[in-house]
Amino acid sequence: MNLKRLSVNPLKKKQQIVAFALVICFTISAVSSASSVCGNAEPIANLIFKTNGGGVRPDYGLYIAQYLRAIGIELEVKVDDGLIFPFVIPTWDFDLTIASLSNLQGDPDPIRSNFVDSVQIHWVTPDILKLGFGYNAFQDSPYYNEHKDLIHRGVFEENISARKIIYNRWQQLVMEKIVPILPFFVNHEYRATWSNLIGFQSSWGLVDSLPYMIYNGMHEGQESQDELRIASSNWREMNPFEISLEPDKELLDLITEPIISLDNKYLPTRNGVVEDWERLEDDHYVFKLRENIYWNPSYNTAERNVSSDLLDPTSTPLMIGLKDEMSNGTNQRVTAKDAVFSLLLYSTEYVNERADEFLWIKDIKVDNNDPLSFHLYFHDYDPRTEEVEIFIPFWQTLNKPLLPEFYFNSSSLEISNTITGIEYIGINQSITETNSWGSYFYSPFGSGKYMLDYYIRNSVTVLRSSPYWFGIGVIDGKNYTMNIDSVVIRVIPDISAELAEFKAGKLDFIRMNYFPDERIEMDSDIRYTIYEDYGEKAIFLLYNTERPFIGAEDNEIWIQKDGKNFTKAVAVRKAMNYAIDRSEMNEVIHDNDYIIFDSTIPNYLEEWYHDDIIKYDYDDKKAAEWLEAAGYFTPYATSYPFGLLAINVFLLTSTLLVFQKRMRKRKK
């Protein structure tokens, strides 16, 4: 085949070179002009993001700063290691922060669901913080009255369906018209067991599952089918009035029973100590305790160790209460007097720092004719109305450890008062300093499934199943005896070491939140069973709506543009919400292992979460639109100003046309 060399006209080649050079020149000019415009532009606003160190909160701040810079907002990230979260920053020198809600126990009640865990909000509390979702939150919003009315109606609406409708409206109102937050993430909760351990029901948790758990054979490294070996950090003390850390709470839950048991959706169940109840009047309930429940022996375990004899009330020392009484497992019956006394203690401010959780109790007393029944009376929320409105989430506040009256009460005739003024005798302000109370905090006993055998600080805690437990499983209400005789809790502070011990068979149960690669590998290994549930921690970006630009006086300036009828501050907060890419943050920071949610109520409260709601998915165009609707120019919204682009295109086109005309003349 003959190949013919192609020739190029020298003149045409020069024309192409010149044209190409002109294109490059105009492109450089355009980029230079755009750079000049963007580089010299002042930020729309300078804001402050404040958080504490540790964890990923500073990482959140850095990503948010990057996203906001793209729409012309500069964000300074400040880390203060002195701050304690999830408590809201005590000073007001910030615009944005990270806040969290946790352990709402199945009820979204926005009065109590505040970002400040130590402040339980109730309708009679006048000094409610403005940050968070409390009753008096959003006072600077034009929708404050509507917000407050919906909360008022929701908290006291007894019909579940009607209550859901009210809370759905409230969620939509807050997220569409008030916009104080951008919901971020809810964590996953992962647990792993060896596959020979059957009966664990993850949605109910370990304590409620234990009566149903049994080993089906032995796994490698296992020494006994009679014990469950887990790991935890050190517990501090078993003070039921101050417990806040998970190791303390889980240990006390193994030893005690709650006054009212809740199911896996945090609704009351009749399968616990209280087996029935009835509403006699609008503000009056009566509760009936189960028969033949006894307090476990009041063992003094302070001096016990691995070499001690088996627990035996005839030989193991017993602690004596303030009335010189003790329990041997068969002599102290659980009655309504214990439930009433426990609630009186929980309602007393100098005993319980969170006594204001019980502001709804008007009165409480043991039934005159039945020692297993007690009566509970409610304050009427609004006496101006004909109907009596009671505090509906009271069920969750009754899910507290039942305490032995014979041990904690004294024979003193001194009168004490609860936070609402209910009088009772036997307790004074110094009683928590007595030897009996102090001993209980380190050698607790209750009417629960297990008894404390011994503990070695920084090493191990050992519990033995109680032969005195009343034997009713909370999950189905049937009779059970414990298949697992002992629970061994080893102190392993390092989570990597804990995982190594689990894989070696020295632990039977482990939380797997921090090992995604190992978890995926184990999930395909028949030796293990992986359980996955929603966690109970919701993370939010929180706006300080009293600050300029994102709030303050702009909360009252209305804008009406392109169908947008909002205040200027709300438009800005909407723009910022759209500018933040939560999906990317979840991918980079959490390996896509967290769940993005979109409302004021986290989606782990499945019964109450409203998904059909406005969602602020990442959209830089919407972010720019909302900023412009608020009256702000977004210099970083496009990479090149349209006006300059049009001018350069016009010049380039004109130049090429001139060259083309000249070339035609030369050809002629």
On whether both 600 and 569 belong to a single domain, the answer is yes
Domain assignment of residue 268, yes or no: yes
The string of pLDDT tens digits covering residues 467-476 is 999 999 999 9
Average pLDDT over every residue of 348-369 = 93
Tokens encoding 69 = 């810079």
Tokens encoding 501 = 């011990």
Tokens encoding 623 = 């972010």
The string of pLDDT tens digits covering residues 503-555 is 999 999 999 988 888 999 999 999 999 999 888 788 999 999 989 999 999 99
Within 8 A by CB and 6+ apart from 425, the residues are 412, 413, 414, 415, 416
The string of pLDDT tens digits covering residues 11-25 is 454 455 445 544 454
Domain assignment of residue 500, yes or no: no
Omega before residue 393 within 30° of 0, cis:
no
On whether both 279 and 336 belong to a single domain, the answer is yes
Domain assignment of residue 614, yes or no: yes
Domain assignment of residue 224, yes or no: yes
Give the model's pLDDT for residue 128.
Answer: 33
What does each C-alpha distance from 418 to 284, 321, 358, 422 come to in angstroms?
Answer: 19, 22, 9, 5
On whether both 333 and 414 belong to a single domain, the answer is yes
Question: 3-state DSSP call for residue 268?
Answer: strand
On whether both 93 and 223 belong to a single domain, the answer is no
On whether both 356 and 413 belong to a single domain, the answer is yes
Are 607 and 266 in contact, with CB atoms under 8 Å apart?
no
Residue found under tokens 């986290």: 602
Give the model's pLDDT for residue 165.
Answer: 95
On whether both 240 and 352 belong to a single domain, the answer is yes
> pLDDT class for 361, splitting at 50, 70, 90?
very high
Are 253 and 448 in contact, with CB atoms under 8 Å apart?
yes
Last residue of a domain, one of 491, 524, 547: 491
Are 217 and 579 in contact, with CB atoms under 8 Å apart?
no
DSSP-assigned letter for residue 389: P
Domain assignment of residue 504, yes or no: no
Range of the domain at 101: 45-186+536-629
Residue 445 pLDDT greater than 90, yes or no? yes
521 or 120, which is more confident: 521
Domain count within the chain: 3
Domain assignment of residue 214, yes or no: yes
On whether both 369 and 472 belong to a single domain, the answer is yes
Lowest mean pLDDT segment, chosen from 202-216, 228-242, 281-295, 397-411: 228-242
Within 8 A by CB and 6+ apart from 27, the residues are none
